[in-house]
Structure 1
């Protein structure tokens, strides 16, 4: 949680998205290296998992030593009243460049934010009372929730198990194939680093969700094909333990019972002499009795094979392909973007609390999805579970489309103005690349309405009082574009000019004016 916040606070605006995304890139790189190490230690018959866990100490120690040399965030120092330290830290981060203008801008913005938010008190309560931060918190937590509800950590945690479920018999082979999915996650996160400042956060997230949903649907169909052509059970031996395993009629139904396993023989791709028998209480590596009493995935003296939690199928390639497509879609967008966006959308006084809340939602949903996956698979079947995740991704797509504004290239101190309007309305659209729809006037009471494009215009005009030209362009472009309203920003000292212009519009374009006024009032 702390790392993306720190990176966002010390980065220049044009590099902020890339630098926060690089943090996620190295996380996925670490996951890939971990799966390779897991594959190497999978050949150890005893104690390999201890080495897997123990080696994680090495990068943790290196990271701790590196953190000791990091300067503190200048924004945090200013918020705590340590101005000299803040100036020194900012100068150090910027490589000794002149930082007076940036320093003054940050200090002024922090002072304004404190006034707008109502001063002291419990931060989370201030966030909930103050409209822009309340809306930003909703969007930030929603992004983290849908990241996990898309099933990413089910895929990452259970990738080897999912491949086994799809029919990959050898556990070592399944582990190595899972490292291929981790490599896909790592490689395609690089595309996110390249795209985040080119296409923007919003488009990247939408495209990622679309690809993720389609990949989950293909994954579900892969399991559905395996279930439709599941090998039948041909032998029903007498069960000495009086369990229900021998009553099942197909491998699919046998596999969904955690107390049962599938014992069979193969002739090429044909399965014969198949039965569903209880799994051993000591280990899932063999059956409790019968011809599959010994080992997993190896031929026994009578050529019997034992399968627990999977069925032999020719469609495992569909599952592997869809897993790769899933991570290729997820990695550039929904992987890093929730963290990148959450590091940008809160004002300084609420940034740490907002990120803590959204990270908490992420980990709660992470635990929820991870702990319930196998139970959901038993209740809904494996293809039903992935169809469910696909449906949740569609909800996430609608959420992002309606509620997420674009923050690319904006100063951190100006992002909160994107949430000054109503949530999930016109203010949720991405800002255009130009300012053609927004005009700004200051100290020009003699200006005629024609200069604003009112004469002969077929669109409504909205007038909103602002204090700076920057906030006009950044906060109002979203409203103008999506609502098809031509906006005029009037400086707070130009009230007389604003009234005259409003009177003119009311007398000539009353219908369009009322339409625009409705959106403007609703935005406030």
Structure 2
């Protein structure tokens, strides 16, 4: 429900950004965060809890596209990428912190109420601090409030750059007004698609947001404990602790992005990121194929040891000797595998899956499996997960938001950013809701292989369709999109020309 709310919030957020400004939209998002947290913490039952989740989702959707946009428009070009990447680091760092906070509240009275209610504190803090910050100077300029915009820009930019920035921004706004006439507040999908710069920007921006989700990141973030169990780690506690490591690596990768984004550029970082993601997913697919095709056998003798708890499907099987752990688990949700007390890789027992049987299995110093099976290659799955996060986070984790914050013409920036963020959240929902079903239907190995193939397609998409915007003023990005069509590597060449154009412009100014 939170993700569903985020889809709506992102869609509404685009309109709010253009109508009322970036700062006002963030304040509205903070208000929704706070209300959602209070409602969830005080919910007497599931219905009100769901209402609170929707409120939080609305805030998440608005903030997800507004924050990078606001930071981008209020940042000098040479450090714009690093500052937007910092936003990504604080998001992933916040996720890691939330794991620790939830862990601390597990033994507190009212457990989950504290976990959900504490989210109101950062929302309230940001609301107060946002009151001290200015509106986006580019949005003010577009709305005709030039003196306010100039005053803010003089505080942001060095003295030797301010005049050229103001001139470039003024020319951009005047060009838009000449093209659109007096109907500056009427924006339709048809108009967006007919405008060449917007259409090309949307192809790159929306494509990146969709691929960010369809390469499988949130299967790892949402289901990392499950994936760890599928790899053969039976303990819930072990799975949760390893998922904490995953969140930590995600935050660490965002720090790497801050350092490299304005040095190597957006496009190179994306290519390196996706190349690593493809390798990692290939490793995960191979490991899970090995764990599922070579799982321990089911022993009639071991199962008979728990004669009152034999899984009915196994008891009724014609050829029980051919059963292994994976076949036992797939036979029915009511079946579990109790590993051998001597060695977890030796034949074990196929039993009914419930708490009583689980406790009985544990009492004999055996491991109990209901998701994945014992494997000597499970540690390779952990390496694959770690590599996936390490490669994904600095590139595909942050760059799509950076590109979307700087690629659209000023007049369409809020609406287009909202469209791209909405596409991201819809893709998020599709992937999150389909992952477990896919693993059940075709197996974990094939599921990760599908994500790997999508990652290869994403790599080709980046090479052909995504611009290099490193160090370019936002107005120069628009000119780059206007002058040439999409084809392989044209962005890099155009980038050089735009930089040259920018230098000439600065000299003439």
Alignment TM-score, normalising by the size of structure 1: 0.75
Q: Residue 162 of structure 1: which of 227, 237, 244 is its match?
A: 227
User: Structure 1 residues 473, 322: CA separation in 2 closer, same or farther (over 3 Å shift)?
Assistant: farther
Give CA deviations for 1:359-411 in whole Å, capped at 9, x if unaligned. 00100000000000000001110111101101100000010011112111111
2:403 counterpart residue number: 341
Structure number, greater radius of gyration: 1
Q: Which has a greater percent of strand?
A: 1
Q: Provide the C-alpha distance between the structure 2 equivalents of 1:365 and 1:182, rounded to a whole number of angstroms.
A: 21
Structure 2 gap segments, 5+ residues each = 1-64
Q: Residue 200 of structure 2: which of 131, 135, 143 is its match?
A: 135
Q: Provide the C-alpha distance between the structure 2 equivalents of 1:239 and 1:124, rounded to a whole number of angstroms.
A: 65
Q: Residue 146 of structure 1: which of 211, 232, 237 is its match?
A: 211
Q: Provide the C-alpha distance between the structure 1 equivalents of 2:162 and 2:420, rounded to a whole number of angstroms.
A: 32
Corresponding position: 1:208 with 2:270:
no
Q: Give the C-alpha shift of residue 243 in structure 1.
A: 5.8
Q: Provide the C-alpha distance between the structure 2 equivalents of 1:334 and 1:357, rounded to a whole number of angstroms.
A: 18
Q: Provide the C-alpha distance between the structure 1 equivalents of 2:77 and 2:298, rounded to a whole number of angstroms.
A: 62
Q: Provide the C-alpha distance between the structure 2 equivalents of 1:295 and 1:267, rounded to a whole number of angstroms.
A: 14
- 256-265 or 94-103, which deviates more: 94-103
Corresponding position: 1:66 with 2:148:
no
User: Structure 1 residues 97, 54: CA separation in 2 closer, same or farther (over 3 Å shift)?
Assistant: farther
2:22 counterpart residue number: none
SS in 1 for 2:348: strand
Residues 213 and 431, structure 2, Cα contact 8 Å, conserved in 1: yes
User: Structure 1 residues 350, 438: CA separation in 2 closer, same or farther (over 3 Å shift)?
Assistant: closer
Q: Residue 406 of structure 1: which of 468, 472, 485 is its match?
A: 468
Q: Provide the C-alpha distance between the structure 2 equivalents of 1:99 and 1:402, rounded to a whole number of angstroms.
A: 34
2:368 counterpart residue number: 306
Q: Give the C-alpha shift of residue 191 in structure 1.
A: 1.2
Q: Give the C-alpha shift of residue 326 in structure 1.
A: 0.5
Within 5 A, what are the aligned runs for 1:484-495? none
Within 5 A, what are the aligned runs for 1:289-300? 293-295=357-359, 299-300=362-363
SS in 1 for 2:263: coil
1:261 counterpart residue number: 335
More RCO (CA 8 Å, sep 6+): 2
1:23 counterpart residue number: 87
1:82 counterpart residue number: 145
Within 5 A, what are the aligned runs for 1:1-40? 1-40=65-104
User: Structure 1 residues 229, 190: CA separation in 2 closer, same or farther (over 3 Å shift)?
Assistant: same
Q: Give the C-alpha shift of residue 330 in structure 1.
A: 0.5
Q: Give the C-alpha shift of residue 307 in structure 1.
A: 1.8
Residues 28 and 185, structure 1, Cα contact 8 Å, conserved in 2: yes
Q: Provide the C-alpha distance between the structure 2 equivalents of 1:213 and 1:45, rounded to a whole number of angstroms.
A: 42
Within 5 A, what are the aligned runs for 1:1-400? 1-41=65-105, 44=107, 48-94=111-157, 99-117=162-180, 119-120=183-184, 121-235=186-300, 244=313, 247=317, 249-256=323-330, 259-271=333-345, 274-280=348-354, 286=355, 293-295=357-359, 299-300=362-363, 302-303=364-365, 305-400=367-462
Q: Give the C-alpha shift of residue 349 in structure 1.
A: 0.3
SS in 2 for 1:314: coil
Residues 274 and 459, structure 2, Cα contact 8 Å, conserved in 1: yes
Q: Provide the C-alpha distance between the structure 1 equivalents of 2:430 and 2:495, rounded to a whole number of angstroms.
A: 40
Q: Give the C-alpha shift of residue 203 in structure 1.
A: 0.6
Q: Give the C-alpha shift of residue 242 in structure 1.
A: 9.5
Q: Provide the C-alpha distance between the structure 1 equivalents of 2:499 and 2:200, rounded to a whole number of angstroms.
A: 24
Q: Provide the C-alpha distance between the structure 1 equivalents of 2:382 and 2:432, rounded to a whole number of angstroms.
A: 20
SS in 2 for 1:61: helix
Q: Give the C-alpha shift of residue 272 in structure 1.
A: 5.5
Q: Provide the C-alpha distance between the structure 1 equivalents of 2:485 and 2:326, rounded to a whole number of angstroms.
A: 46
Q: Provide the C-alpha distance between the structure 1 equivalents of 2:490 and 2:140, rounded to a whole number of angstroms.
A: 32
User: Structure 1 residues 359, 256: CA separation in 2 closer, same or farther (over 3 Å shift)?
Assistant: farther
Q: Give the C-alpha shift of residue 57 in structure 1.
A: 2.3
Q: Provide the C-alpha distance between the structure 2 equivalents of 1:165 and 1:64, rounded to a whole number of angstroms.
A: 42
SS in 2 for 1:198: helix
The two structures, once aligned, show a CA RMSD in angstroms of 3.1
User: Structure 1 residues 231, 5: CA separation in 2 closer, same or farther (over 3 Å shift)?
Assistant: same
